[in-house]
Structure 1
Amino acid sequence: MTQSVKIKKLNSNAIIPTYGTEFSAGADLYACIEETTTISAGETAFIKTGLAMEVPVGFAGFIYARSGLACKKGLAPANKVGVIDADYRGEVVVALHNHSKNAIAVEHGERIAQLVIAPFLTAQFEEADELEDTIRGTGGFGSTGTK
């Protein structure tokens, strides 16, 4: 299944997202920066992509970490998952957080995150005096065991 998403280059050096393989769910987002940005250990930097997009109504763009970048270098989105709403038309910027103990340099054209376009449901929240009982009930964190 494919979905058309309009992309606008805000910077002529911007790179349109690409898929690594035919069956990749996420398209790579690339840094579009004038000079190398060094992110100190434990710090966050806002890395521009030079792109704006028109996500179709009923869909959202979800920005996830690239597994290699996160596991090998310790760089991942600070907010864990970024969300691009269908009505947002500004530049896509990735807040990259350095989870490592070393400063990490980010270069122009480097793959910094991955973008997944997915449909979503909008909930109609209804206040209720009672909720249906379940076996789990109010059991929270860790209540279903560690198996």
Structure 2
Amino acid sequence: MPETTEPTLSVQLKMLDPEIEAPSYAHPGDAGADLRARVDVLIAPGERVLVPTGVSIALPEGFVALIHPRSGLATKHGLTIVNAPGTVDAGYRGEIAVTLLNTDARQSINLARGDRIAQMVIQRVEYARFVPVAELPDSVRGAGGFGSTGGFTTTPTQD
């Protein structure tokens, strides 16, 4: 008998389309629940499309739903989410929609109604008190920004 992961949070769910499968976890221990396309959609190379999921939720205060790309679709087809991760705030009650982007330069992506298009990860939120100061304390990194820690083992060549 397979292990199951017991839910630790109740989230109210309203299915806006009863024929679409509700968000669900594919395997015990998965962090993301699959969201599905409510409509058929063809995404041309380089095109972005807002795809409805047929799902609306009521998160408890202090939680957020983060919408992540599906790794298989990203790897096999170049499909990603423009604003990854997308944010669904606790106060939002509308339909969750996902802004998908086809990063493939040559192939269109055809998604059918009911296809899994994204993952929804629900997390606790910390609320910060922003305290104005004249100076920030020093750190090892300091003000080093983009690329400050390297990342390439070789220098790019020019043709």
2:90 aligned to which of 57, 80, 86: 86
- Counterpart of 1:75 in structure 2 is 79
Report the residue type matching 1:70 in the other structure.
A
Deviation at residue 145 of structure 1 after TM alignment: 3.5
Corresponding position of 1:110: 115
3-state DSSP class of the match of 2:100?
strand
Q: CA RMSD in A?
A: 1.3
Task: Give the greater-gyration-radius structure (CA).
Answer: 2
Question: What secondary structure is seen at the aligned counterpart in 1 of 2:87?
Answer: strand
Q: Deviations over 1:53-105 (max 9, x none)?
A: 01111110000000001110111111121000000000000111101121111
Partner Cα distance (2:110, 2:147) in 1: 38
Matched with 1:5 is 11
Unaligned segments of structure 1, at least 5 residues? none
Deviations 1:24-45 (A, max 9, x none): 0001101111xx2100100111
Normalised TM-score (structure 1) = 0.93
Structure 1 segments, 4+ long, off by >6 Å, are none
Is 1:15 equivalent to 2:44 in the alignment?
no
Counterpart position of 2:67: 63
Aligned-pair distance for 1:138? Answer: 1.4
Q: Gapped runs of 5+ residues in structure 2? A: 1-6, 154-159
TM-score by length of 2: 0.86
Q: Equivalent residue of 1:127, what SS?
A: coil
The alignment status of 1:143 with 2:148, answered yes or no, reads yes
Indicate the SS of the match to 1:7.
Answer: strand
Q: CA separation in 2, counterparts of 1:136 and 1:103? A: 42
Whole-Å separation in 2 of the counterparts to 1:109 and 1:139: 45
> 2:104 is matched with which residue?
100
Count of aligned positions: 145
Q: Give the share of equivalent positions with the same residue, in percent.
A: 43
1:28 matched to 2:18? The reply is: no
